[in-house]
Structure 1
Amino acid sequence: MRLWITLGIATLVGLGAGIVTAVTQVNLYPWKGALHHIGEDSPALPEIPEGRFSPRVAVDKQLYDFGVMDASATGSHDFVFTNVGTGPLKLKELDTSCSCTVSQITAETIPPGQSATVTVQWTGKGVNGHFRHTATIGTNDPDRPRVVLTVQGRLTGVTKMDPERLVFSRVSAGDDAVGRVRVYGFQTTEKKLQLVGYELDDPEESDRYEVTWEEMPLEEVKKGEPDASCGYLVTVRVKSGLPSGRFHRTIQLKTNLEEAKSIVIPVEGKVDSEVSIVGPGWYDEAGILTLGTVRGRKGTKRTLLIVVGGPHRHDVEFTLVKVFPDLLKVELGPTREASDGSVTMTPVVISVPPGTKPANYLGPSEDKMGKILIETSHPRVSRVKILVRVAVRR
């Protein structure tokens, strides 16, 4: 009987001592962790260390705004991770959005009180506009198992032009026409945009165009493009004397920047004139005569008429100055007056002689077509241009 009493007393004493010890441990070392559900699809995180030592992560900033950047460039930023806890902090890349990558984690395990950098890299992929992408870093901090880093800003080209093309709706053959575009520079590099020269795509007509520019005040620049660092007002003067009909030219502005060596200004318009061209196969809007595909052994012939109205119609003379390629044969016929006397008409006979060798001048660009230039004595229209689309087969 005494044995059972002794065992009971010992059990009660042991149970009491255990309870006291447990309460003391909880008061001295309370558990500050958090419960996290880990499913089959959850990312694998570094293990949480056992014991009472716990890591704590602190990041200098989770959002980095880079401001303005060239849309085709690549940027990077170092995020600083610091372990403010009492146990080793582990880092691991979990996920990134399509335009961001984690290029480097300087230390995957950070001792208490120390720091490491996570380098996030991004690229604009040539798309202008607002940019916002993320990279997610996993940690063994029980309170912050995932840290989302965000990069944002605005992507733009090195330069921007407004408007994107210069259109002259109607140009009088006897008058100059003036158009203007604004060119903005975005200082995504150390160099500031400077315009240093220009070229016209057709040197033969370079004397018909005059291009000048002046730097705009910064206040005016910011009104048009708040993120631009500079801007130029470019003036294009189309001089009188252009051939009648549609014209399409390209002006290349030369710059001092390696990443944008030239800025292209498309120029187009229509010249109204007292001198015009009519005839089969002639497309006045484009200034093109289409002969099409011709059999070399047979050849072909087409006649156009240069029609002149106005007070100078009886005084105008024409001189053939250029024919390209040599397979085209061109003759100017005698000028005659219309029956009502309102206009004069001068025939232009264009032919591909029989026996011509195969060739292709169907275009589509002007430099891949035939070209005929005719000078005139008209005081307002000094030149007539005829583009020819033709191919010769066997």
Structure 2
Amino acid sequence: MKRLLFRILRRPAKVASFPRWAVVLVAGSLAGTAVLSAAQSPAPPAVAETAATAVGRAPRIEFATPNYDFGRVGAGQVVKHDFVFTNTGNATLVLTEVRPGCGCTTSGTWDSEVEPGRTGRIPIQFNSGGFSGRTSKSISVRCNDPQRPSLFLQISADVWTPVTLQPASVYFNLTGESPTNQVRTVRLVSNLDGPLTLEEPETESAAFRTHLKTVQPGREYELEVTTVLPLPTSYVHAPITIKTSSPEVPVLTVPATAMVQPVVTVMPATLTLPANWVPGGVAPAVTLRNTGSQPLVLTDPTLNVEGATVQVNELQPGRLFRLMLQIPAGAALRPGERWEVKVKTSHPSYPEITVPVVQAPRPATTTTLRPPLRPVTPPPPPPGAPLGPTYR
């Protein structure tokens, strides 16, 4: 190794002819190391695309018009419109969400990806049923445009009805103390070009009495609705119909509803104890609420169980009460039996309130029958084997 190094160092002319590189061999007593060095480093590998080349590449969304007016639309008519947009950027435009403002405007299948320079559409459908007069609805759009990631479109319409009903229905929320002369009034206004005449209102329910009054002949009327107590049931719903002279709307319908709430309500009406309830544990409770005009007074609360007590807690004076039951340990509510909580009140229509107390049925227990165990007889020994223990 030393001789080879000496020969190379003694030949400088040969070294000068090397093309811009040199080989140096360093020899040591124990080891040698070869190092390759270049007089000029090679060029670094090319990069496909740097971050700088991506600067300025982004989609841009532009709508021909973000607002559209349907103009005059007949009540109940379904109208449609396509919002057209263009991608004016230099990257793919992606629409991630199109959400109508309410269930009245529904969108069809929109163009979710649009290349630069291309156009897309968002179809919108509007159902004018249940609307009257000037109506506007909005649609939210989300996309990957960095400048406008979220935007809103708007549709509007003048919903036209031949006859306007204000309000469109009547509702009575009554109690046992409600006066019988409660009246609900519906205003009927004709939007037709010619005069409109109405016949007398009709209803199949005896719970409502109606009267039609003319405000402006051929143009405006008032429908008065009155409840007739007592109602046949605590809840009554019936349509009131009015025949008209117009072929566009031959019959007008006004829904009428009446509900009677008791002055004193009991919750629950039947107290059901859990199947695993144990007397002496958590005390069950009954709540009483008074919605009458006068404060309520409760007296003499009882429970027909020996040793049981009923405590009256007045949460809101004269209005809200809670009856806490204390049932002693050892009391048993047999299947099919029931206890009764009773309390007297100061209301003449509710002199005494009774709440049944029952217990949920216990789950049936199932018994798994297993076959009896049989003694196991060992197999007989092989021929020639000793019959007893063997000692050695």
What TM bracket, shorter-length normalisation? 0.3 to 0.5
Q: Which has the higher helix share?
A: 1
Point out which structure has higher relative CO (alpha carbons under 8 A, 6+ apart): 1
TM-score (norm 1): 0.36
